[in-house]
Homo-oligomer: A and B are copies of this chain.
């Protein structure tokens, strides 16, 4: 019995997360009730509380999951790119290119999670907001470290690495608002256009 119950909640958890994400993205966190989420999953509202203590915890868990997944995926990607480049100058440019392409691809694959990560910050409790902001800063710092290294090596000209980091991330996030697969440009072409702009914007 314990085994069956375990399996059951293993399946229900991801489904709760999927439906909550979809509903929050569609209607906004404030407009969605736990009852609506339960109904979309096909369980009683009470069953939801076996999984999460309240709607705020669910929102936080979704946003935290998104950010930790992002960080883990980036560290893996960066390591792969760094291994290939030969000298420090080529390495830092390879990392910048990797970041540009990775950021676009990772976020395009998760439109609902991205939407919520930005839109629902205002609905986080103070502690939860601080925790998410700290994860977001960790990700921004990963790019900022690349820019600083590029400046140190003399291959990038970046008067203010902090601002340039925010500018690049905002620019790349913009792709989410218009890109549709099967459109005029392939993902590869889009990545190429953005990489060209990012690289040139920091040219020595």
**Chain A residues at the B interface, C-beta cutoff of 8 Å:** 26-31, 119, 122, 159-160, 163-164, 166-175, 177-178, 185, 190, 193-194, 196-198, 200-203
Contact = CB atoms under 8 A, between A and B. Distances in A.
Q: How many copies of this chain?
A: 2
Judged by DSSP, the binding face of A is: helix
5 closest A-B pairs (Cβ-Cβ)?
A170-B174, A30-B31, A171-B171, A201-B201, A197-B201
10 contacts: A26-B122, A27-B30, A119-B119, A164-B197, A167-B171, A170-B170, A170-B171, A170-B172, A170-B175, A197-B201
B159 A196 contact: yes
A171 B190 CA distance: 16
Nearest to A198: B201
A150 B197 CA distance: 16
Contacts of A196: 159
A174 B169 contact: yes
A193 B159 contact: yes
Given A160-B193, A163-B185, 18 more contacts: A28-B28, A30-B30, A119-B119, A166-B178, A167-B174, A167-B194, A170-B171, A170-B172, A170-B175, A170-B177, A171-B171, A171-B174, A197-B201, A197-B202, A198-B201, A200-B203, A201-B201, A203-B203
